[in-house]
Amino acid sequence: MKYVDPRKTPNLWLELTILKMIEDRDPTNEDALRHALHAIIQWLEPGLIDQLFGHWMETYLDALNEYKNSDNNSDPPCLYEGRQAYSQSRNTPSKPRLEGKEDVSNETTSSPDLQ
């Protein structure tokens, strides 16, 4: 079994670690996931967010506009609805898989986080 070496491929290691925490659905990971998400988002430049998530933003703004122009008394639209539309429009899976735990970088080391 191969493991990702966080010293050689820190981005891949972080991605796999966070995805594993989400996949496990362990309530004790919730605060750590929120903190990680907040830290990552704060480092992103607004222009990069526009580039990467512009479709989500457009979908959200369209839904928000529709909500404002209606007599609907329900809650306003949320970004999650945009995420689903984005995933479907890009033909990308909404839940990445971690099966096999293969190291894309071909660098191996033992890591208790991903065992």
What pLDDT shows up at residue 107?
A: 42
What pLDDT shows up at residue 79?
A: 54
Q: Which residue has the higher pLDDT, 76 or 48?
A: 48
4 and 20 both lie in a single domain: yes
Give the C-alpha separation, 110 to 96, whole Å: 22
Three-state DSSP state, 97? coil
pLDDT tens figures, 54-111:
999 999 899 888 888 888 777 777 755 444 544 444 443 333 333 333 444 444 333 3
Give the C-alpha separation, 25 to 87, whole Å: 21
What pLDDT shows up at residue 44?
A: 95
64 and 88 both lie in a single domain: yes
66 and 31 both lie in a single domain: no
Domain region containing 9: 1-43
- Does 102 reside within a domain? no
Q: Nearest to residue 11, comparing CAs of 98, 112, 104, 115?
A: 104
39 and 67 both lie in a single domain: no
- Does 68 reside within a domain? yes
Output the pTM of the full model.
0.58
- Does 110 reside within a domain? no
- Does 80 reside within a domain? yes
- Does 52 reside within a domain? yes
